[in-house]
Structure 1
Amino acid sequence: MKKSLRLFSKVVVLGLFFSLFFSSNVSAQGVFNDMHPNMESYQSVMALSDADIIHGFSDGTFRPYDQVTRGQAAKMVVRAINLDPGQEVPNPNFSDVPTDHEFYPYIAVLAFHGLMGGYGDGNFGINDKLQRGQMAKLIAHAYNIEKHPWKSGQFKDVDANAFYAPYLTGLLEKNITTGTSPNEFSPGKFVDRGQMAIFLHRAEQTRGKNP
């Protein structure tokens, strides 16, 4: 009888172990119902989600192919580099970013540290889609990647005098970004949420972090 009870207890313990193991795996892979392991951005999205850097939507989706806005990008970067959005900083006075806006504290702290600015007309462009050229400058600033004069002829669509050009060399050397083709960077193309996760994940890894 005692042997039967001991055997039963072991079976129960093993059953609980496997149940917990498999359920944790399922939850780790099932955070977003629109993300699948065969997606290019899957590993990056899952890693940054586990690190509480990026979040999805209330319906359980991440929407990796939605274009990321400048406001969303600001929040992602602040969380990635551990800036405190609760820090008391001066109001950057962007005309399209009221102080009660969801993204205000993230934009304000980035502006205070000189990591992301607005446009010449006084707007931040909070709902504007983030372009790849803007992404390059933002990531390079946020991760202190040294800028160099653009000399490479690799991308025919990169103007050496463009605002983002000095930041590209460092990003390319560290494999944080690549071109959209062997000879094009597509600086004006919009960044989607999955791509932004990839860029951030690679940037995190360059500074010895492995989220």
Structure 2
Amino acid sequence: VDAEGRVVKYGSVMAVVAVTTPVTPTPEPVSPGSGGNPSTGSNTNSGTPSGNPASTVTNVIVLVNGKEENAGTATTTTSGNTKTTIITVDPLKLQAKLDAEGIGAVVTIPVMLDSNIFVGELNGQMIKNMENVAATLVLQTGKASYTLPASEINIGALARQFGTSVKLEDIKLKITIGESSAAMNQVIAVAASKGGFDLVAPSLDFTVTGTYGNSTVEINRFDAYVKRTVEIPGAIDPNRITTGIVVEPDGTVRHVPTQIIRENNKYYAEINSLTNSSYSVVWHPLTFADVEKHWAKAAVNDMGSRLVINGVNETTFNPNADITRAEFAAIIVRGLGLRLGEGATSFADVPVSAWYAGAVQAASEYGLINGFEDGNFRPDAKLTREQAMTIIAKAMKLTGLADRTGTVDTAGVFAAFTDAGLAGSWAKDSLALAAKAGLISGRSGNKLEAKANVTRAEVAVLMQRLLQKSDLID
């Protein structure tokens, strides 16, 4: 960004910047009730690293449905080799724009400054006002963007964690995109080596926190998928990108649904996740020799490359074998990018030490699976097609595909299958929903075969179709 107030373009977004002026900060006590209004100057130096003698302040244009408003102030501070830019939004100016735009507005904070960490800062009342009009907040930098519906912050629940008498305007919300630390990058490098995949873009951390006084709470789980867009370096071949992943601090790796998109002659990884964490983009091609001539070859190899399904060994998938309930729970959790659960499950026959315990816990927590009347999960039992469709139907609600599919005429859908009457009454609605959405079709002779066991190949295809039709993967 130069000092002449020139227009800077990123993707399809235009941002106007004002003259950047070095200032010597004079720290002032910031009361929780300040609301982060940059016009008061009380928050201009919020977050300045201790010992840093100077910072720079830049006016930032905030966009509401693409319409410009000079409603942001960016303060950049440097500590060692790390630059941090905090963009504070004026709540009065933003509210005026929201009032003019109405329901469903998109508030974009575009910041093209050269920093390692970017923080968008609003007060809790502003977030609540955005939630009331179904607005979406976008923090957009030169490296990535973070698209967050205000409703997913759930500011009311966050406020209750600070106490019953807390005013929303006294809560400071920070939405952060930052380069992963050196220590975390080392963890990611080790995980890549062990997992046999190549990193194709710098790892980034996405976080959302709420602060009241001296207390800070991190928001790390959402009820719907939240989008992050990461720029792919120009030297990377877009055909050599497999998926986005999350790497936990302990080195655990999990797939997150990812699409590769092209915009303005640049490639981006569009990552959707229900959590916040450190995200990387990887190249991990995988093929199984025993599906070379199988009807499910493409889906099996795709899901294997995305770290969703595993083979029985490095080259063998065994596509026609039945699948167990535990195996299916693990696949659905990996496919949806859910964080593994911890601790004991509610099922008497799922020991904490079992390899599938974390997956069963996560699937249960998200309402994807239920146990039997006796309180057991029966992890080693084979899974039938109607049982699988019941779980898939619940996953469709989580991804939004169920709402998109709309009302289902179960009798009309079942008319296409010669044996639909054999399906359990408890599973018919789920089977019909999955069929209408295009996730399942009949076996030979237009048979649903609801009571038959589902195969490993069928599960790979089911998972791929679920993610594709939910617009979560290519």
TM-score in same-fold range (> 0.5): yes
* 3-state SS of paired residue (2:425): coil
Question: What letter corresponds to residue 158 of structure 1 in structure 2?
Answer: A
Identify unmatched segments of 5+ residues in structure 1.
1-26
Correspondence 1:43-62 to 2 at 5 A: 43-58=298-313, 60-62=315-317
Q: Is residue 363 of structure 2 the alignment partner of residue 110 of structure 1?
A: yes
Q: Is residue 382 of structure 2 the alignment partner of residue 120 of structure 1?
A: no
CA distance in 1, matches of 2:323, 2:307: 18
Identity of aligned residues (%): 25
Greater length-normalized contact order (CA 8 Å, ≥ 6 residues apart): 1
Higher strand fraction (1 or 2): 2
Q: Is residue 420 of structure 2 the alignment partner of residue 154 of structure 1?
A: no
Question: What letter corresponds to residue 329 of structure 2 in structure 1?
Answer: A
CA distance in 1, matches of 2:454, 2:444: 15
| TM-score w.r.t. length of structure 2 | 0.36
| Superimposed CA distance per residue, residues 17-69 of structure 1 (whole angstroms, 9 cap, x where no aligned partner) | xxxxxxxxxx946x323220x31110001111111111112353111111111
The answer (yes or no) to whether the contact 1:32–1:60 under 8 Å persists in 2 is yes
Divergent runs of 4+, >6 A: none
Q: Which has the larger radius of gyration?
A: 2
Question: What letter corresponds to residue 35 of structure 1 in structure 2?
Answer: V
CA distance in 2, matches of 1:185, 1:120: 26
Match of 2:428 in 1: 165
CA distance in 1, matches of 2:361, 2:379: 12
Higher helix fraction (1 or 2): 1
Q: Is residue 327 of structure 2 the alignment partner of residue 72 of structure 1?
A: yes
CA distance in 2, matches of 1:109, 1:189: 26
> CA RMSD, aligned part only?
2.3
| Superimposed CA distance per residue, residues 170-198 of structure 1 (whole angstroms, 9 cap, x where no aligned partner) | 21122110112454211110011111101
Identify unmatched segments of 5+ residues in structure 2.
1-283
CA distance in 1, matches of 2:390, 2:458: 15
CA distance in 2, matches of 1:188, 1:65: 16
The answer (yes or no) to whether the contact 2:419–2:449 under 8 Å persists in 1 is yes
The answer (yes or no) to whether the contact 2:319–2:457 under 8 Å persists in 1 is yes
CA gap of 1:103–1:88, structure 2 versus 1, over 3 A, is: closer
The answer (yes or no) to whether the contact 1:154–1:182 under 8 Å persists in 2 is no
The answer (yes or no) to whether the contact 2:342–2:361 under 8 Å persists in 1 is no
Structure 1 residue 130: Cα displacement: 0.8
Q: Is residue 467 of structure 2 the alignment partner of residue 190 of structure 1?
A: no
The answer (yes or no) to whether the contact 1:178–1:185 under 8 Å persists in 2 is yes
Question: What letter corresponds to residue 47 of structure 1 in structure 2?
Answer: D
| TM-score w.r.t. length of structure 1 | 0.77
The answer (yes or no) to whether the contact 2:439–2:465 under 8 Å persists in 1 is yes
Q: Is residue 392 of structure 2 the alignment partner of residue 139 of structure 1?
A: yes
